[in-house]
Structure 1
């Protein structure tokens, strides 16, 4: 398995993680849910990375694959008046990753990151490693620390 910018970032920071490849299905309606099913993992612990704009500023939200983002809560988490999903092409340009493989780790441009607080109580979560069909398993507290991220209520 080739290293990604995300795995390189974690290795350089000395953060422990495990790699979990799976057969990526580009036709899947919900990529995170498909990944959870393919790996036999709890969808609440397989986190999806969503790029947003809060008052026009780029930000990253990491939430359980079986949850829905609340834009009202996203705005609150980032101290903004409003929030919206970032268009896919803009997210790809900003992160350097393809949709379906966007990771909060090793993005081309560093942006504020928030994790769904409920997911941060688990011992381990699975997040995209920066490549379609590849998740990494990591302690959520390590992910928060290495990203300088915050835990916040983000889901509906």
Structure 2
């Protein structure tokens, strides 16, 4: 049980946990999850933490896309955004990079979920450990994290 799963369980929402054997040589944690679980990459979302003018902000974006830092900054009213330093992310969230979940973080951070999540009945996000995903509705994820939806992802160049 991870803090993410505990939070979902306590909230009594509908969710499913999916585990897979994590390959340490995998280049993309989210891409690996989509492939190993047989789920479309548009339904698997990565949890990224950005430094938005000094404030850490969580962005939940599809693994098939990239975080648009300028759009994230605009969405949270910051002048600029950059990816946060790994040490700061791990210390603040309580999770290791590659296993950061938007749920059950040590310190609740402002969270923005890419609006494309609403195109799906359920999405997959990290359950708090590499090789472990939690499937839940985007609205439940937003409710549990206090998140807002916004256009913060761009499609990756193929």
TM-score between both structures, scaled by the size of structure 1 = 0.96
Conservation of the 8 A alpha-carbon contact between 2:4 and 2:105: yes
Per-residue displacement from partner, 1:1-39 (whole Å, max 9, x unpaired)? xx1000111111111110100111222111100110001
The Cα RMSD (Å) is 0.8
| Cα offsets for 1:114-133 (capped at 9, x unmatched) | 00001222101000001111
For residue 44 of structure 1, the aligned residue among 22, 28, 42 is 42
The 5 A counterparts of 1:88-99 are 88-99=86-97
Match of 1:34 among 29, 32, 35: 32
Gaps of 5+ in 2: none
> 1:72: which partner in 2?
70
Greater share of strand: 2
Q: Deviations over 1:109-154 (max 9, x none)?
A: 1110000001222101000001111001101111111111000000
Structure 1: gaps (5+ residues): none
Aligned residues: 154
CA–CA distance in 1 between the matches of 2:134 and 2:104? 13
**Structure 1 segments of 4 or more deviating over 2 A?**
none
Aligned partners of 1:26 and 1:74: how far apart in 2? 29
Q: TM-score, normalised by structure 2?
A: 0.95
